[in-house]
Amino acid sequence: MIEGVNLIKFPKQTKYSSSRRLREMVLVLRKHNVLTSDMTPEKLRLILEDLGPTFVKLGQILSLKPEFLPADYAIELTKLQTQAKPLDFSIIKDCLEKEYNKKIEDVFLDIDDHALGSASIAQVHKATLKTGEKIVIKVQRPGIYEVMAKDIVLLKRAVSILQVFKTSSSILDFNAILDEMWNITKQEMDFMMEAEHIDEFKRLNSEDIFVDCPTVKHELTTARVLVMEYIDGHRIDEISKLKAQGYNVEELGIHLGKNYVKQIIEDGYFHADPHPGNIWIKNGKIIWLDLGMMGRLSSKERDALKKAVYALVQHDTYEMKNSILTLGTVQGKLNHIQLYEDIDNLMNRYSNANFQTLKLSELAHDIITVARRHKLSINPGLSMFARGVVTIESVLKICCPNVNFIDIFASYMRADFKRNFSWKEEFTKFKRDSYLMLQKSMHIPEQLSDILKMTMSGQTKVNLDLTGSEEPLRRLDKMINKLIIGIICSALLLGSSIICTTNMTPQIMEIPILGVLGYLVAVFLSIRLMINIFKEK
């Protein structure tokens, strides 16, 4: 942090002006010598952390957009830290009493004044209910909504003034990124919504005896205060402590991998940030924490993802192309031939791949890269999936290196295929498709007859799209523009010469001013034309 500038903690009653915030931003940029030194992934991450919670959240969102940032920047931004200096307990106490409209002693038996954790948006304290039950209280930092809202306004103004991203060839609209970030942040700042996430996650994983999450105390939860049961276990990366208590860490890793695959493939509702701090072990169960940001995949996207994996293993380029088109949304004109070639190159890189050697995170990144190249916008759920898989693979590598996530994924995929495959259903589908094909084929003679009649009457129109013709047409357009400028220059020189032989007024040094102006314009256009020609060479 910059000396004398507090970017995280804000006084309760102080109006936080845009001009003051702008000065803080300038100080941060000056501290990191933005104008005098090169930008690196690590430097960008440090700048965002110093700029405060809004920019940390922006970096987290951008890390989910590998179609916008280079891979090394996106990976570095996944390391963004949200820890902040803890607020004084008197501020937390004041917040709680305002939320409950009563003295804190009337609600809780006691509260630990030392924070269990302090992030940019909220702070967590351990407490005890009147019943003696241990709980944790997550309290939103006062004024954080106002500060982040002002940051969003400043960023949007900067984008509209500079017009940097509006003239970019990138398919990504930075204003849309700001809107997405603000929507996600507002959801994270609404603890009632996080409570709903926890309830949904608990319901979807209720049958898994190895997985759980904290229970929400709804009667004490508000939009700014979240009360949950206290988890007194150990983080999954505290290997020595887990082994000392008799846990088989490899077994825990297998259960973790199976559950995460189930979240993705079966539920389509998964933890978007599965780092070790959010995965705890208590009473033999894996406890998922911090469910503020959850990823979602529709059934269509899950099917496309499974088909993409099968297509890769079977080297089916056509099926992979269909999967990528399903996972992305076409923005503008699509070159199908070039897309097919790029996918075929992708398939060749994985020519020796099988379920045992395939890295799902690399596959997801390569698919997103191909989609980016062809201006296919990617659903945020798929970006969260790619990030989540990278994170969970790294967690398993640290905690139990003998457990291979892709092996677990492959086993689940095989089981899913067997579970959903039915010869009876496949035969029924074959009969239905055959009937539809036969029905459509009966209309072919009629359609051909209509085409011939329209052709003979001059009503037929043919839309011809020559793939690869864009560049020659663009060059031809440039040549015509140069020819037109040359003709205009010649006309100006000829016209100016004729005018200069007359006595037309007004004059300068006995030369008609219109003639002089014509010469100047002709010279200017000629110079511009020559510069453009030399640039192209």
- Please report the DSSP string for 150-180 in residue order: HHHHHHHHHHHHH-TTTSSS-S--HHHHHHH
Confidence band of 289 (pLDDT split at 50, 70, 90): very high
Please answer whether residues 266 and 211 qualify as being in contact, where contact means their C-beta atoms are separated by less than 8 angstroms: no
Token reading at 404: 């291979």
The answer to whether residue 424 scores a pLDDT higher than 80 is no
Q: What is the pLDDT of residue 67?
A: 56
- Whole-number Å distance between alpha carbons of 16 and 14: 6
320-334: average pLDDT:
80
Exposed, middle or buried, 250 (CB in 10 Å: 0-12/13-18/19+)?
middle
CB neighbourhood size of 312 (10 A): 25
Please answer whether residues 298 and 270 qualify as being in contact, where contact means their C-beta atoms are separated by less than 8 angstroms: no
Please enumerate in sequence order all residues whose Cβ is within 8 A of that of 405, keeping only pairs 6 or more positions apart, or say none.
Answer: 257, 260, 261, 360, 389, 392, 393, 396
- Residues 146-202: tens digit of each pLDDT: 888 888 888 877 766 554 444 444 444 567 677 777 877 777 788 998 999 999 999
Q: What is the pLDDT of residue 65?
A: 63
Confidence band of 17 (pLDDT split at 50, 70, 90): low
Q: What is the pLDDT of residue 140?
A: 92
Dihedral sign for Cα 215, 216, 218, 220, please.
positive
Segments of 311-411 assigned E as strands? 328-330, 376-378
Residue that wins the pLDDT comparison between 209 and 518: 209
- Could you tell me which residues are beta bridge partners of residue 235? 280
Token reading at 184: 């996600």
Please enumerate in sequence order all residues whose Cβ is within 8 A of that of 119, keeping only pairs 6 or more positions apart, or say none.
Answer: 82, 83, 84
The answer to whether residue 6 scores a pLDDT higher than 70 is no
Q: Which of 81, 40, 30, 37 is nearest to 59 (CA)?
A: 81
- Residues 60-85: tens digit of each pLDDT: 777 766 556 676 777 777 777 666 77
123-138: average pLDDT:
93
Token reading at 43: 């430097």
The pairing of strands 211-212 and 285-288 is parallel
DSSP class of 104: G
The answer to whether residue 19 scores a pLDDT higher than 60 is yes
Exposed, middle or buried, 173 (CB in 10 Å: 0-12/13-18/19+)?
middle
The answer to whether residue 233 scores a pLDDT higher than 80 is yes
Dihedral sign for Cα 430, 436, 442, 443, please.
negative
Q: What is the pLDDT of residue 93?
A: 93
Percent of the chain with pLDDT over 90: 24
3-state secondary structure (DSSP) of residue 295: strand
Range from 12-21, 217-226, 282-291, 366-375 carrying the lowest mean pLDDT = 12-21
Q: Which of 337, 319, 359, 364 is nearest to 465 (CA)?
A: 337
34-50: average pLDDT:
78
Q: What is the pTM of this model?
A: 0.69
3-state secondary structure (DSSP) of residue 458: coil
Q: Which of 76, 57, 55, 74 is nearest to 66 (CA)?
A: 74
Percent of the chain with pLDDT over 70: 83
Q: What backbone torsions phi and psi does residue 208 show, to the nearest 5 degrees?
A: -90, 110
The per-residue pLDDT of the chain, averaged, comes to 79
- Residues 377-402: tens digit of each pLDDT: 777 777 788 878 888 888 888 888 88
Q: What is the pLDDT of residue 422?
A: 60
Residues 113/114/118/122 CA torsion (nearest 10 deg): -20
- Whole-number Å distance between alpha carbons of 374 and 428: 37
* Element at 226 (helix H, strand E): strand 225-229
Exposed, middle or buried, 534 (CB in 10 Å: 0-12/13-18/19+)?
exposed
